[in-house]
Amino acid sequence: MQEAIHRFALDGEPADCRELKGGRINRSFLITTDRGARYVLQRVNRYVFPNIRAIMGNAEKIGAWMERQPDALPVTIRYLPARGGELWTEDGEGGCWRCYRYVENSVCLSAPESPEDLRQSGLAFGRFLQALEGFPALELEETIPQFHDTPARYRQLRAAAAEDRCARRARAEEALALAFALEERASRLQALRESGALPLRAAHNDTKFSNVLLEEGTRRALCVIDLDTVMPGLSAYDFGDAIRSSAASGQEDEPLSLDEERFTAFTRGFLEGCPGLTPAELEALPLGAFTITAELGVRFLTDYLQGDPYFAVTDAEQNLRRALRHFRLAGEIARRLPELAEIVRREKTGI
């Protein structure tokens, strides 16, 4: 890390470093220099993102586009060039590092503290999506192929269960049964994508609550972070992942349930931020919340069966607990779909 940080032109000499917790994939450190300038230094997870050129190329395109959008959020993350001219630097151990200016006067919460926090997060992700309207989505590289292709995620789960390389399957039978009970409904969104019923957009694809920075004090939407999965996607993914994550504490392995007030607050902000959604997209939003919740459960369960190579865990059962919590939440969302559709309709029309 010492070596990596010196490859970026900082304002001053690094004087302090502390780890920023919360991400499941990359590791992030807050660096403060002797002149008081602050930066985020990240070590990119190469198991998840083997193609560093693709993620950084996408980030650069998005950043340049956002800076030309009058309605974009106040702050967009831009990476600093490293010595050598790339936006990242490699260490001798296969690690890749990148660096950006810490967003001052911001707060990053692991869970919302009020409905207004949720409305602001809805506004942030909605405005992000809206600002990317017109962006040539297909020019973005698919940083993780089939990221939200739920049927593909089920195929990976089946393969992991068949292989059972860590002899964990016996402990996963209940979770597997729950997963497969959700499969038919969880495959519908992908079918809507493939049929062209839903427009493909440049979407964020990883809209968990902690990926929004709010302004300190005012708690207004300031910035959307974690652009590694910005690629062609659906508005229903972004809406859906935000809904599922706002039902969770940071750990995602505690009981989850859908709160109507929270759902309404997020929906209000999202629709206000992204007025350009088509009728078909509006209709698919609740299905997105269901699908992404079930899909993430499938991903956690697959990772459990494979010995946790993907998601950071605190103990050997955490991915299994996360999977179970997500399947139960998905079941609850499925039962409440008509109610959720009604909230979306009401928030859109105001009547």
The footprint of Mg ion (CB under 5 A) covers: 206, 226
Nearest CA-CA partner of 276 in 133, 71, 128, 73? 133
Q: What is the CA radius of gyration of the chain?
A: 20
x/- mask, ligand GN1, residues 251-270, rule CB under 6 A, reads -x------------------
Cα separation, 200 vs 110, in Å, equals 29
**Binding status of residue 206 toward ligand GN1 by CB under 6 A:** yes
**Binding status of residue 321 toward ligand GN1 by CB under 6 A:** no
48 or 343: CB nearest ligand GN1: 48
Cα separation, 145 vs 172, in Å, equals 26
**Binding status of residue 24 toward ligand GN1 by CB under 6 A:** yes
- Shortest distance, position 191 Cβ to ligand GN1, whole Å: 21
**Binding status of residue 117 toward ligand GN1 by CB under 6 A:** no
- Shortest distance, position 34 Cβ to Mg ion, whole Å: 31
Strand order in the sheet with 27-33: 14-20, 27-33, 38-44, 96-101, 89-90
Q: Is there a contact between 214 and 113 (Cβ–Cβ < 8 Å)?
A: no
Q: Which does 58 bind (CB under 5 to 8 A by kind): ligand GN1, Mg ion, none?
A: none
**Binding status of residue 303 toward ligand GN1 by CB under 6 A:** no
Two tokens, residue 230: 């910005």
206 or 295: CB nearest Mg ion: 206
Question: Could you say which residues in the range 40-69 bind ligand GN1, by CB under 6 A?
Answer: 48
Phi/psi at 28 (5° precision): -125, 140
73 or 227: CB nearest ligand GN1: 227
**Binding status of residue 185 toward ligand GN1 by CB under 6 A:** no
Beta strands in the chain (DSSP E): 14-20, 27-33, 38-44, 89-90, 96-101, 106-107, 201-203, 212-215, 221-224, 231-233
Cα separation, 245 vs 247, in Å, equals 5
Number of residues that bind ligand GN1 (CB under 6 A): 13
215 or 252: CB nearest ligand GN1: 252
Return the percent helix, strand and coil in the chain, to nearest 5. Answer: 45, 15, 40
**Binding status of residue 281 toward ligand GN1 by CB under 6 A:** no
- Shortest distance, position 207 Cβ to Mg ion, whole Å: 10
According to DSSP, the residues that pair with 29 across neighbouring strands are 19, 41
**Binding status of residue 208 toward ligand GN1 by CB under 6 A:** yes
Contact footprint for ligand GN1 (CB under 6 A): 23-25, 48, 206, 208, 211, 226, 228-229, 241, 252, 296
